[in-house]
Structure 1
Amino acid sequence: METQNLRILFVVDAIKGRNGVGTYYQDLVGLLSERIERAELVAPSLDDPHFCQGGSLPMPGDTTQRLFFPHMRALTRLMEEMQPHVVVVPGPGLFSLGGYWLARKMGVPVCVTFQTDYTHLVQLYWGPLLARLVCGLLDRLNLAMFHGASSVVTISETMMEQARAIGVARPHLVGTPVASEFIRCPAEPPRDGVRSVLFVGRLAAEKHIGAFLELAARRPDLTFTVLGDGPLRGEVQASAERLDNLFFAGWRSRDEVMTFLDNHDVLMLPSSVEAFGTVALEAMARARWVITSHACGINQWPGLARGLLPLGEGETLDQGLRRLEQLEPAWRTGLARRGRQLAVAVNDETLASWEDVLGQTALRAPERPAPSATLGLLRRLGARAS
């Protein structure tokens, strides 16, 4: 099928712009809208609620986030009006399950994405017994959605291995897009070496924010800034009050994130769990130096690795930063410029990969009906949200 004629509906649980997954689909839909007939995003929003967005509850383990219920009648009306060729869902959230079930009911091919390491996240926030039960449920939901999908997509080699391990025969590997403004606006490398360091992300255990705060205390000669929100907000605020060189800016919009990147020299992503690391790619697009932990999926992309400074096994943030500072100035400048070039190239490859997968998926029919248990659950949720 000609990709320019595609109509694609994305049904996503992640709040728009509030985390990596929410940012991913916000950017992807914006970019695809310029290349296909119609790309529509259904996702919760705190500032501008979507008409398919129902009520919400605090997220278990992180009250700074909300778990939204889909408005099933509104979502049904949208699908009937749009008649999408493919429905894309990152499972297994409530919005995703709603989009998955409706697509199967209407005979629309489904593309399920696998880009969050739920097992590690659950183990970080819940006790061993509850984590084991929840992980088992998530694995079953994931596998059921994979088996009913016409295609499965993921964003890193690590997630590819996990998908195969739970029974996905042929997952597709695609990249991560960059919002057009990060690429179209001119960007130049820092001119005066390393003076300022930035962290952008959820203030949560998996982001290893404590290591960044410790580094700020060890390097009073540099300026450190934290952007984001999450359950560790209080810890960050306390450190900012104690340290003269550490500033906490809270959660910021995408436009503001780009401004903060441009006003800092280095971005650090010290995560212990990170399927990809979108902000690292955004920093590369802005010609910034990027230091990543070995857990970040972005390190696995050969097309991007040459523009990063990944930490070695056992290497600390302090050691990685000093390694950057010891490089010849010309080499540092070349690294930043190369990072921007690589980010632009991978963005183009990502869009081409998505178009290819979606074009193939549109030609495939669903293989089995949606499970009756899923139908009952979604009917109850839809009734509550209506």
Structure 2
Amino acid sequence: MRIALVTEFYYPHLGGVTEHVHHLALELRRRGHEATVVTSNMTGQGEDPPFVRRLGTSRLVYSNGSFARITTGFGLMRRMTAVLRETGAEVVHLQDALAPTLGLVASSAAWRMGLPVVGTFHTWFRRSPGYWAFRRLLQPRLDRLDARIAVSRPVVQAMSKYFRAEFEIIPNGVNVEYFHPNGRRPSDALTSGPRLLFLGRLDPRNGLDTVLAAMPEILAAYPATQLTVVGDGPLRGYYQRKARSLGDRVRFAGAVFTERPDYYGTADLYLCPTTKASFGITLLEAMASGTPMIVSDITGFRELVDGGAEAVLVPKGDPAAWAGAAAALIGDPARRGTMGAAGLAKAARYAWPRVADRVLAVYERVKR
């Protein structure tokens, strides 16, 4: 089957949608399907895999406490139509199908060509002024999709505030061969110094300021603690200035791609202080790496953890609570070992072959 996966978010932009699209494409291609990722040109992009096609120029815009992307350029409809024809797409799969720009352009092009269109929705929000303002225009487009997928129940709940539709919940997946334990033992934190990891885009909603504010108390209990910050973004300079007083106890690694499994695997704790999320792909990556986690007690993470032993849920934006949780776990290697094992077991349930089976079933159902 020939599938066009259309997305505003792809490398070098790090985030959940990027990981979802890339690994879905890899799994589909591994099975012999011709999956093409259609995205836009971005500053800092490197050499793409042969299955990636780019058109237009991606622009960063601030939206809902984070930095989103929209594609601009002349002739986007014509160029999108050309890509769909050249790749022989039989199914067009959109990510966040109602958001500008590529989802709207690709759906219009696909409908003109008589192609089935699947939409996956990734975003959770308390409110959306854009959806409220344009809901009457967007509802017919949502109705016209041949299938609607949501990555979690919170996404369905958010979309239901403005739209009427039935969604099939298919979660994000994780590559359990790529992300895996690397041999670091829970006791190593007490013999060679605790290693804490933050991995994510450096934007307001990902909450790095909470971890930085917690570090003095963590260091008071365990002076050899090292926090590694993996990720980049417009606020990197701001966070680096906030971390100056912590000296060499905080290291900014910048944007990281292929080395991410090493960072997860060598961390004693993964800290995810995000203030808003629909699912939590980085949580799955940490689980697959056998790394115990402290994560924000928010809607998207609460559903994924669901009472599991792999993570401790802590109130968002509360540095004292984060410091207390981190210090307690650093001093309890046995519990961290139990958490890591629980994470490995849960990650196996979200392995990409399982998730791709369900996505392919949707493609088969809508294919004309």
Tell me, in whole angstroms, the C-alpha distance in 2 between the residues paired with 1:333 and 1:160.
34
SS in structure 2 opposite 1:31? helix
| 8 Å CA contact 2:206, 2:272 repeated in 1 | yes
Partner residue in 2 for 1:342 = 346
Partner residue in 1 for 2:108 = 101
1:34–1:180 CA distance, 2 compared to 1 (3 A):
farther
TM-fit CA distance, 1:294: 1.4
SS in structure 1 opposite 2:178? helix
| 8 Å CA contact 2:151, 2:170 repeated in 1 | yes
- Higher RCO, 1 vs 2 (CA within 8 Å, ≥6 residues apart): 1
2:196 maps to amino acid = V
SS in structure 2 opposite 1:243? helix
When the two structures are superposed, what TM-score results if normalisation uses the length of structure 2?
0.83
Please point out which of 345, 351, 360 is paired with 1:355. 360
1:31–1:140 CA distance, 2 compared to 1 (3 A):
farther
Identical residues among aligned pairs (%): 22
After TM superposition, the structure 1 = structure 2 runs for residues 1-386 of structure 1, keeping only pairs within 5 Å, are 6-18=1-13, 19-44=15-40, 45=42, 46-48=45-47, 51-60=53-62, 67-69=70-72, 71-90=76-95, 91=97, 92-117=99-124, 132=129, 134-137=130-133, 139-140=135-136, 142-179=138-175, 181-183=177-179, 189-193=185-189, 195-220=194-219, 221=223, 222-244=225-247, 245-253=249-257, 255-295=258-298, 297-301=300-304, 305-311=308-314, 316-325=321-330, 327=332, 329-347=333-351, 348-362=353-367
1:76–1:225 CA distance, 2 compared to 1 (3 A):
same
Tell me, in whole angstroms, the C-alpha distance in 1 between the residues paired with 2:311 and 2:366.
33
TM-fit CA distance, 1:176: 1.2
SS in structure 1 opposite 2:160? helix
Equivalences, count: 345
| Most deviating of 187-196 and 163-172 | 187-196
Give CA deviations for 1:37-88 in whole Å, capped at 9, x if unaligned: 2211112352247653223444246998763336443332221133323211
Tell me, in whole angstroms, the C-alpha distance in 2 between the residues paired with 1:318 and 1:229.
24
| 8 Å CA contact 1:303, 1:346 repeated in 2 | no
Tell me, in whole angstroms, the C-alpha distance in 1 between the residues paired with 2:275 and 2:305.
21
1:346 maps to amino acid = Y
Tell me, in whole angstroms, the C-alpha distance in 1 between the residues paired with 2:331 and 2:245.
29
1:58–1:161 CA distance, 2 compared to 1 (3 A):
closer
2:204 maps to amino acid = A
TM-fit CA distance, 1:173: 0.6
TM-fit CA distance, 1:331: 3.4
Tell me, in whole angstroms, the C-alpha distance in 1 between the residues paired with 2:185 and 2:347.
14
Tell me, in whole angstroms, the C-alpha distance in 1 between the residues paired with 2:16 and 2:305.
21
| Most deviating of 99-108 and 13-22 | 13-22
Tell me, in whole angstroms, the C-alpha distance in 2 between the residues paired with 1:188 and 1:342.
20
SS in structure 2 opposite 1:14? coil
TM-fit CA distance, 1:218: 2.3
- Unaligned residue ranges in structure 1 (runs of 5+): 1-5, 123-131, 364-386
1:293–1:158 CA distance, 2 compared to 1 (3 A):
same
Tell me, in whole angstroms, the C-alpha distance in 2 between the residues paired with 1:296 and 1:289.
20
Tell me, in whole angstroms, the C-alpha distance in 2 between the residues paired with 1:139 and 1:17.
31
1:199–1:191 CA distance, 2 compared to 1 (3 A):
same
Give CA deviations for 1:174-194 in whole Å, capped at 9, x if unaligned: 111223542467666544247
SS in structure 2 opposite 1:29? helix
- Unaligned residue ranges in structure 2 (runs of 5+): none
| 8 Å CA contact 2:120, 2:149 repeated in 1 | yes
SS in structure 2 opposite 1:301? helix
